[in-house]
Amino acid sequence: MKKVGLIGGIGPASTMVYYSEIIKACREITKDDNYPEILINSINMTGMLKLVAANDRKSLVELLSAEIDKLISIGAELIAVASNTPHMVINELIEKTFVPVISIVEETCKYAKNLNLKKVLFTGTLFAMSNDFYAKALAQNGIECIMPDDNDKEKIHSIIFPDLENGIINEKDKLAFKIICNKIIIERNIDGLILGCTELPLMIKHEDFDIAVIDTMDVHIRGIVERMAC
């Protein structure tokens, strides 16, 4: 198994899921007593999000690139950023990184295409929903990406922050999220829902909707483990 380096802490709750699920998946492949080597660089989410909110892409790239370099310097053979929002600069990071970077956006698009989805609803942080990096990538795969309106973006963001980002699941928030999404799904004839924040799968499960639900964290983890095993 190759040694993977994770940029984590964005947020902490989902980083723990990445860690445990990568171990579980790798051991299912090897079927022995060995454990995979995982390097985690848990960065300051608050500082990163300030750069995102300011749309300071240059500083965001510099920050993440420097943190990735730390992982490579201690032996990481693969890199993954364990969060959707910073993937707004993933292409720039890939260009600056000398080991493979497994993109959550690329893995999600491949998964959606394999499901033959035509029109998906994207949900995530306000920052991710207000950027077009997912819409562009999905369009390249022949999939239309629908974003919530501004009011619903704010509501979904408030469901994620601060509680869900800290691993706190509120049933009222879950119901509110389902109401928002189901309304859009019906009105826009949506056939897939993307959980484009790695904390959303802590609250929302596949059985909560009657259409395909894409857990981007799970899809990303599968892609990471596949590359580790190559």
Domains observed in the chain: 4-103+219-229 (3.40.50.1860), 105-215 (3.40.50.1860)
Which contacts (CB < 8 Å, 24+ apart) does range 168-175 have?
Answer: 169/202, 169/203, 173/203, 174/203, 174/204, 174/208
CA distances from 225 to 73, 87, 187 (A): 21, 19, 37
The backbone region for 34, taken as left when phi is positive above 0, alpha when psi lies in -120 to 50, beta otherwise, is beta
The answer to whether 63 and 51 are in contact (CB under 8 A) is: yes
- The rounded average pLDDT for each run of 10 residues, N- to C-terminus, in the chain (230 residues) is 97 96 96 95 97 96 98 98 98 97 98 98 97 97 98 98 92 98 98 98 97 98 97
**Residue-level pLDDT at 229:** 96
**Residue-level pLDDT at 159:** 97
